[in-house]
Amino acid sequence: MARLSLDIPNAMDHEWSLDIKKSTARPPAAIRERLTDLAEAIRNDARRVFAHRGEYGTKPGKPSVVMERPWCAKNRSGRIVYQINKKHPLIESTLKRMGPLSEYAEAMLRLIEETVPVQKIWLDTAEASEDHAIPYEGYDEKTVLNDIRMTCDFLSQSITNTETLRAYLLATEPFNRYPKAVDKVLKER
């Protein structure tokens, strides 16, 4: 999500080990470390901006809740891995209701986590960031309402206040995108 541009005059081709097609270049040793530092700083800035998109703070006067996302990034042996957030209300509820079958569900989730096509997702996002569907795009309203209902049922076991329940649902990804559907489910109760 960031670019670093260098203008190299023709007189410097030899110092940069540029080939005749100018398809590869190797920076001179004297500036290589500085270029690496600059590139890393630019990459970190881009990563911060990109990761910040879609994050929301608490709203004044509303119950304070933390956004529950279905995925989380973790560090395992010095490498980033993506795991399903088992504290997400719908996932946690499903695992609890499965009882003795939850061991199979855990294995299935682990398989999904271990095979997330990170490189493919990264490439698709870099090449066509506007072409990705938003959560539930293309599903009928019934499916969205049903998933909100199931999450609401689980949350209402510990949350009795409707306004607090609404705040939790709206702080749960991807339901935060569907406030009218959340309100519709809460009116049914």
Give residue-wise pLDDT tens across range 49-94: 666 554 544 444 555 677 888 999 999 999 899 999 999 988 999 9
Residues in a beta bridge with 84: 71
Identify which has the larger pLDDT, 55 or 14. Answer: 14
Average pLDDT over residues 27-50: 77
Q: Which residues contact 25 (CB under 8 A, 6 or more apart)?
A: 8, 16, 17, 18
In the predicted structure, residue 21 carries a pLDDT above the cut 90: no
Give the pLDDT confidence score for residue 2 in this predicted structure.
Answer: 74
Inform me whether the pLDDT recorded for 115 exceeds 80: yes
Query: d(Cα 112, Cα 38) in Å, to the nearest integer?
Result: 36
Say what the pLDDT of residue 1 is: 63
Comparison of pLDDT for 123 and 76, the residue scoring more = 76
Least confident of 32-41, 130-139, 149-158: 32-41
Asked if residues 162 and 156 have their Cβ atoms less than 8 Å apart, the reply is no
